[in-house]
Amino acid sequence: MGCGNRVEHNCGSLTYAACTKYESGVSRNSSLVEECRSIENTTQDIYNQLDAIDDKLNLSTLDNSCVSFTEPKTILSVLSDLIDKVCIMQTQLEEQAILVTTLQTQVEELQTNPCN
């Protein structure tokens, strides 16, 4: 695979990432503990962290038994589907509360005046 005429390949002699010292900090989730770091090992560490995040965010095996999730399952689509389900349940709870109040009133009326 050629690099073509990209700018970084027209800057004179190349220095490989393994030979370039990295002088800044690393993520608190970094596996790098040594003080002397290269661009190569910090870049690999970043890719490892990205892969770990991607694995944790993978929702492909999320169970659809109670809530039907939109495909493909993304964080946004799953949250949206769950919020929709919660809103439906909230409406049903409010309707049930009204029904319970109505039934309680009817029972009280029957206890007060059983002939109506």
User: Using CA atoms, how far apart are residues 8 and 56, in angstroms rounded to an integer?
Assistant: 34
The H or E element containing residue 22 is: strand 21-22
| pTM for this prediction | 0.60
22-52 pLDDT per residue, tens? 999 999 999 998 888 999 999 999 999 999 9
At residue 1 the predicted structure's pLDDT band, cuts being 50, 70 and 90, is low
Dmax over CA atoms of the chain, in Å, equals 103
The pLDDT assigned to 79 comes to 94
> Cα angle at 28 between 39 and 16, to 5 degrees?
5
Would you list the DSSP string of 24-84? S---TT-----S-EEHHHHHHHHHHHHHHHHHHT--TT---SSSPPPSS--HHHHHHHHHH
58-113 pLDDT per residue, tens? 898 888 788 889 889 999 999 999 999 999 999 999 999 999 999 999 999 999 98
